[in-house]
Amino acid sequence: MELFSEIYNCYYQIVDRILKEAEKNPVTEKEIRRICTDMGFAESSLYVLPKLVNGEWQLLSFDKTAGRSRTAAHGAMPFTLLQRSWIRTLMQDERFRLFFTDEELPALERYVEDAGILWNAEDFRFYDRYDGGDDYSSFAYRQHFQTLLTAISRRQYVHISYQSMKGRRITHRYLPLKLEYSVKNDQFRLLAVPENERHSIYIRIINLCGITEVRLLPRYDQEDYDFEKVIRKSYYHEPVRLLIRNRRNALERAMLHFANYEKRTRKADTDTWECLIYYNSSMETELLIEILSFGPAIQVLGPESFLAQVKARMKRQMEQLSSAKSSPS
């Protein structure tokens, strides 16, 4: 099983990008240098540029200012045996089937059938994960998931019926924006905007396991809706400031658990990092619970409003523990 291939090295990828650009419009030497810098190393243009401009690699037809591609249109890059093994290994995961239809899966299985499996699911044991994740084998769950994927890609409105975390049955029309996965909870959730709150900065978070019905509606988002910008506008002015002490691999675990949050991290000391996490009111409770689950490995520095919630929750837990100890068995 090869780890390296001549068509997957850095310079091949750089030249491939240059040729694709040159198929659309002539590329100048300046543009070639930019591509080399973006995709390669500081010295990449010193190697690639002369060979393309001087004709040693007869791939571009240069006039005085720019070059056109001499090649035909490029097809998709073939997968290596190692990549096919990676795909076949991922196919063991129940979540993999969520992203493919019953028509697509057999063709994919045939494509990777000659590749070996890199590991088995039984080889891993997960810590810091709650029991009772989503039922990915459920036909209805998979149907809902794929309908939402379609709606997100088409920017299409949907009719959704679901049960809230408080047990209320809710039915509404939404513009689905994004699907997120929580490693800690082993659950997917949907970020969506209600139809009549199109320009609201408040985004609904819906757990997929609570959805009972999803239907595509004959209405599409006609505007260039930048939901990432909307989410940023909804953030509190001051982010949560954390001090992460890298004990028991706390830094890696924190980066994994907080992957769905916008954040900034910098090294503060030899084994300590400062992390800023940006959040809004809909994220606040879950973020608080996730931070507390790390125990002494994470210290909350601010803001004061968030720190007050941490202290209040810790106080309640201490009172409950004290009450449990004092009650007769």
Q: Which residues pair with 169 in a beta bridge?
A: 163
Q: Of the candidates 192, 184, 298, which has an alpha carbon nearest to the alpha carbon of residue 245?
A: 298
Which of 31-40, 191-200, 219-228 has the highest mean predicted lDDT (pLDDT)? 31-40
Does residue 90 or residue 227 have the better pLDDT? 90
Which of 8-17, 53-62, 87-96, 288-297 has the highest mean predicted lDDT (pLDDT)? 87-96
- Residue 200 to residue 222: CA distance in whole angstroms: 16
Which residue, chain included where needed, has tokens 């494509």? 111
Q: How many helices (H) and strands (E) does the chain have?
A: 10, 12
Q: How many CB atoms are located within 10 Å of the residue 254 CB?
A: 23
Does residue 130 or residue 59 have the better pLDDT? 59
Q: Which of 14-28, 60-74, 130-144, 308-322 has the lowest mean pLDDT?
A: 60-74
What is the pLDDT, as a whole number, of residue 265? 92
- For CA atoms 147, 233, 305, 238, give the dihedral sign: positive
Strands (E), the chain: 27-28, 60-62, 66-69, 156-163, 169-182, 187-194, 204-207, 211-220, 240-245, 262-267, 272-278, 298-302
What is the pLDDT, as a whole number, of residue 2? 46
- Residue 101 to residue 150: CA distance in whole angstroms: 12
Pseudo-torsion of CA 77, 78, 82, 83, nearest 10°?
60
Average pLDDT over residues 197-218: 85
Contacts of 234 (CB under 8 A, 6+ apart): 201, 202, 203, 280, 281, 282
Q: 52 near 32, Cβ under 8 Å?
A: yes
Q: What is the DSSP letter of 7?
A: T
What is the pLDDT, as a whole number, of residue 114? 92
Return mean pLDDT, the chain. Answer: 85
* CB neighbour burial string for 301-319, b if at least 16 within 10 angstroms, e if fewer: eeeeebeebeeeeeeeeee
pLDDT digit string, tens, across residues 257-282: 888 888 999 988 888 999 999 988 87
Average pLDDT over residues 107-128: 87
* Residue 52 in this model has a pLDDT that exceeds 90: no
Spatial strand order of the sheet with 27-28 comes to 27-28, 66-69, 60-62
- Residue 126 to residue 183: CA distance in whole angstroms: 10
Which residue, chain included where needed, has tokens 């001090």? 243
CA 316 from centre of chain:
34
Q: Of the candidates 217, 219, 214, which has an alpha carbon nearest to the alpha carbon of residue 161?
A: 214
Average pLDDT over residues 173-177: 92
What is the pLDDT, as a whole number, of residue 186? 87
pLDDT digit string, tens, across residues 318-329: 888 887 777 665
Q: What is the DSSP letter of 160?
A: E
Written as one letter, the residue type at 144 is H
Q: Which two tokens stand for residue 225?
A: 């809706």
By CB neighbour count within 10 A (0-12 exposed, 13-18 middle, 19+ buried), where does 224 fall? exposed
